[in-house]
Amino acid sequence: MLTFRPDELHAAATAVFLAAGADAANARIVVDHLIDANLSGYDSHGVMRIPGYVRFIERGELVPDAKPRVVRETAAMTLIDAQRTFGQVSALFATDAVVAKARAQGVAVAGTIHGNNTGRLGAYPARAAAQGVVLLVAYGQLGGSATPYGGRTGALGTNPIAVGFPAEGEAPFVLDFATTSIAGGRVALARDAHEPLPAGAAVDAAGRPTTDPGAVGRGGALLPFGGHKGYALSLMTLLLSNLLVRAGDETDLGGGEGGRGVAKVFFCGVDAAVFGPGAPAAAADVFERVRAVPPADGFDAVRIPGDGAARTARERRERGIPVAEDTWRGIVRTAAGLGVSL
């Protein structure tokens, strides 16, 4: 395992994306997002994504200098054509649109079409919460490495969902998870680190339980978390994003986790003061009371969703960001193919 300072990884990633055709503004948004994911402990959504994004660019599925465009809007709705830009760019654009309208109208929704992989979904609710807006983001796809409950072959994406809620005087509540037992990027992380998958996370091509990360790419599949409950949430994210967000030219529900220029994302924002002031202060009080519960054996404390990411970020800013050697070699090869020396 290698260790890098955040600024080292930031400089390397920026050089790669600029060489791949991104403009400075898009490169900054994407790289800031990737490094923040690594700092927060979401390594499956960090710099390991660089080679994949460059492959999307080379295949014409991702347009690195494209800008999102509003194609339809009302006082409380915005439909955005991502124009196949980086998913981080279009999701940030949509988040800011929803926050502005929610603060003005109380409630607002947005949808993005023709998009790509958004990266760490929880980054957008965290951004909204910092501005006093509760935000739900759903990103679902039909076709991918996840099997439905009761099945044994892939038919769905990992279909993540994220929600943020502001808390006065502290980091917001952030729920952020794939509806599969592990995120799709965790498979690549395990492969690069030469580690097994957690038990109960995947099946091989014959439908047998496996911990081999390579089996998922050889016809295997990821299982929904919590059995039928995770499967139901997976379908919900698909319905909210790919079916509810409509532009009138629906021909593709999105295949696989990459996005490939067809991904749709749903955003729903609610001003935390829509029913009256005080919700963030009340949330902070709830968190204090929950954290006061004595920890069970094997735990050092009761935490609120979002606490772990904040603690990991503090530690990694001091100690550096770990990157598997195979992951780094892949990034170096990608850079070399673009004429960039790392």
Q: Who's near 286: CB < 8 A, 6+ residues apart?
A: none
Share of the chain above pLDDT 70, in %: 96
pLDDT at 298: 95
* Segment (H or E) for 128: helix 123-129
Asked if pLDDT for residue 169 goes beyond 80, the answer is yes
According to the model, what pLDDT value does residue 152 have? Answer: 87
Number of structural domains the chain divides into: 2
CATH number of 60's domain = 1.10.1530.10
Whether residue 176 is found in the same domain as residue 256? yes
Residue 165 φ/ψ, nearest 5 degrees: -140, 125
In this structure, the answer to whether residues 323 and 310 fall within a common structural domain is yes
Q: Are residues 113 and 236 in the same domain?
A: yes
Q: Are 264 and 148 within one domain?
A: yes
- Expressed as residue numbers, the domain containing 241 is 67-180+224-279
Could you tell me if residue 249 is inside a domain? yes
Tell me the pLDDT band of 250, cut-offs 50, 70 and 90: low
Q: Are residues 116 and 259 in the same domain?
A: yes
Q: How confident is the model at residue 274 (pLDDT cuts 50, 70, 90)?
A: very high
Listing DSSP states for 227-240 in one string gives: THHHHHHHHHHHII
Per-residue pLDDT band for 188 (boundaries 50, 70, 90) equals confident
Q: Are residues 20 and 112 in the same domain?
A: no
Q: Name the least confident of 29-33, 168-172, 222-226, 257-261.
A: 257-261
Q: What is the mean predicted confidence (pLDDT) over 63-85? A: 97
User: Of 292, 287, 322, whose CA–CA distance to 307 is shortest?
Assistant: 287
269 domain residue, yes or no: yes
Residues 6 and 137 in one domain: no
Q: How close are the terminal C-alpha atoms of the chain, in Å?
A: 17
Query: Quick one: 170 and 319 in the same domain?
Result: no
Q: Which residues of 13-50 are buried (b: 16+ CB within 10 A; e: fewer)?
A: bbbbbbbbbbeeebbbbbbbbbbbbbbbbbbbbbbbbb
Rg of the chain taking only CA atoms, in angstroms: 20
Q: Is the per-residue pLDDT at 257 higher than 60?
A: no
Tell me the pLDDT tens digit for each residue of 86-96: 999 999 999 99
For 202-232, how does the pLDDT look when each residue is reduced to its tens digit (9 = 90+)? Answer: 999 999 999 999 999 899 999 999 999 999 9
Give the number of C-alpha atoms closer than 13 A to the C-alpha of residue 7, restricted to the C-beta side: 1
Going by DSSP bridges, is the β-strand pair 77-81/107-115 parallel, antiparallel, or unpaired? parallel
Give the C-alpha distances (Å, rounded to integers) separating 270 from 62, 123, 132, 171, 176.
Answer: 31, 17, 9, 18, 18
The residue among 191 and 162 whose pLDDT is bigger is: 162
Same domain, 128 and 253: yes
Say how far apart CA 328 and CA 342 lie, in whole Å. Answer: 10
The pLDDT mean for the chain works out to 94
**Do residue 139 and residue 77 come from a single domain?**
yes
Q: Which of 118, 64, 76 is nearest to 101 (CA)?
A: 76
Q: Facing residues of 244 across strands?
A: none
What number is the average pLDDT over the span 106-128?
A: 96
Contact call for residues 270 and 280 (beta carbons, < 8 A)? no
Residue 253 scores a pLDDT above 80: no
pLDDT band for position 199 (cuts 50, 70, 90):
very high
How many residues would you count in the chain?
342
Find the mean pLDDT for residues 276-289.
97
pTM: 0.93
**Co-location of 106 and 157 in the same domain:** yes
DSSP state of 241: I
What CATH number did the domain enclosing 246 receive?
A: 3.30.1370.60
Measured distance CA(256)–CA(295) in Å, rounded: 39
- Tens-digit pLDDT profile for residues 6-59: 999 999 999 999 999 999 999 999 999 999 999 999 999 999 999 999 999 999
What is the average per-residue pLDDT within 263-267?
Answer: 95
333 is a domain residue: yes
Whether residues 105 and 147 share a domain: the answer is yes
Q: How far apart are CA 3 and CA 323, in angstroms?
A: 6
